Amino acid sequence: MKPLVVFLLTEYPQLSQTYKENEARALMPYCEVKIISLASQDTPYNDHLPFEHAKSKQEALRICQELKPHIIHSHYLHLTHLAHQAALLCGCKYSIRTHSFDVIGKHVDYLSQYKDAINSDRCCGIICFPFLKKNFVDAGIKSHKIFTSYPVVDVKRFANRGENGQGIMNVGAAIPKKNMQEFFFIADKNPGKTFNLYAIGYNIDELKQQNNSIHNRVSIKKCVEPWLMAREYKQHHWLLYTACPYLKTVGWPMAIAEAQASGLGILMRNIRPDLKDYIGGAGFLYNTPDEASKILRNKYPEDMREEGFKLAERSSLNTHLQLLQTIWSQ
């Protein structure tokens, strides 16, 4: 009999958070997976796993208790206390996968409010990006409870050494920290090239207005189902990933690994030193729109493209499954 893993989530299925889907589907050959979701999603996608929508935390706890899971797994730090309470009710353990907005830029006092729950015997451990481990240690969380990981990507879906198109793309949630208006400025400096923006929800209308005010150089695409994005990547030569240099809260985007696996050149806004560790020798970091424009006028070096295929594997589902197995055996 397979062990039962309950995903205790918010906003499932959310198009900008497909890492939850990737993780759950990867576990299914080895575990029975049930999903409980609090809060409604802004931009859902169609082909998702079944889930139970809990209208309150109390309802989520009740459903969880009825399911009798072996493990509870949550995403985002703010669900730690709920996952802890659910684990106590169910007599099981839990784990938390953190991301960027719930950790980057947060004061140590904010992080430390979770230390007692995470340091307890009920918590198997938390997962974070490598550059954020020190933040948790400084907040009083025991080092052996902290596991590091790259983003969770279905690399096999995107892996394609075939020839790429000539377009330049950007992708992600249309929120201030992504600084997508900079994509329009860079496109305006390169009128002979094709720029496509796959912006998800939120401030789309505002982005369209900004694009129109700068000669309408960018084609803003409708939301694409996750399973179809591999085809979209292959139409492009570059991924130009913008980010706000003042907020500096963009984490390690899944899109970087997806694009590397798809053979694209990587060009990302240089907002923090740790991004060099993520992109490695398979991409460029730019400091100004003018610098980005100059880089985009060149063909992506073949040796960097080859390195990208290798680095993308750090985010593979198999790597993450092995990590979860290690954590859950604690």
pLDDT over threshold 90, residue 270? yes
Q: Quick one: pLDDT at residue 26?
A: 97
Same domain, yes or no: 101 and 160: no
Per residue in 137-189, pLDDT (tens digit) is 999 999 999 999 999 999 999 999 999 999 999 999 999 999 999 999 999 99
Q: Give CA–CA dist 269/281, Å, rounded.
A: 15
Per residue in 309-327, pLDDT (tens digit) is 999 999 999 999 999 999 9
pLDDT over threshold 90, residue 330? no
Same domain, yes or no: 8 and 70: yes
Same domain, yes or no: 115 and 61: yes
Q: How many CB atoms lie within 10 A of CB 176?
A: 13
Can you give the length of the chain in residues? 330
Same domain, yes or no: 173 and 301: yes
Residue 303: CATH number of its domain = 3.40.50.2000
Q: Give CA–CA dist 172/132, Å, rounded.
A: 22
Which residue, among 206, 292, 203, 279, has the nearest Cα to 242 in the 3D structure? 292
CA dihedral of 218, 101, 25, 174, whole degrees rounded to 10: -20
Q: Is residue 327 part of a domain?
A: no
Token pair recorded at residue 253: 């985007």
Q: Per-residue confidence at 120, pLDDT binned at 50, 70, 90? A: very high
Residue 49: CATH number of its domain = 3.40.50.11930
State mean pLDDT over 75-90: 98
State mean pLDDT over 76-104: 97
Domain end among 95, 121, 148: 148
Enumerate residues 6+ apart whose C-beta is below 8 A from 86.
Answer: 6, 8, 60, 61, 64, 65, 72, 94
Q: Let me know if 280 is exposed, middle or buried by CB neighbors in 10 A (0-12, 13-18, 19+).
A: middle
Give residue 244's domain range. Answer: 155-314
Q: Give CA–CA dist 188/182, Å, rounded.
A: 10
pLDDT over threshold 90, residue 40? no
Per residue in 11-24, pLDDT (tens digit) is 999 999 999 999 99
Same domain, yes or no: 132 and 20: yes
Same domain, yes or no: 164 and 138: no
Same domain, yes or no: 225 and 285: yes
The share of the chain scoring above pLDDT 70, in percent, equals: 100
- Structurally, the chain folds into a number of domains equal to 2
Per residue in 177-222, pLDDT (tens digit) is 999 999 999 999 999 999 999 999 778 899 999 999 999 999 999 8
Token pair recorded at residue 162: 């075939």
Beta strands (DSSP E) in the chain are: 4-10, 32-38, 52-54, 71-75, 93-97, 123-128, 146-148, 167-173, 195-200, 218-220, 236-241, 265-269, 284-286
Cβ distance 240 to 269 under 8 Å? no
- DSSP structure string for 288-305: SHHHHHHHHTSPPPHHHH
Q: Quick one: pLDDT at residue 202?
A: 73
Q: Is residue 91 part of a domain?
A: yes
Per residue in 21-32, pLDDT (tens digit) is 999 999 999 999
Same domain, yes or no: 187 and 289: yes
Q: Quick one: pLDDT at residue 42?
A: 83
Domain end among 148, 180, 198: 148
State mean pLDDT over 102-117: 97
Q: Quick one: pLDDT at residue 285?
A: 98
Average pLDDT, the chain: 97
Same domain, yes or no: 208 and 76: no
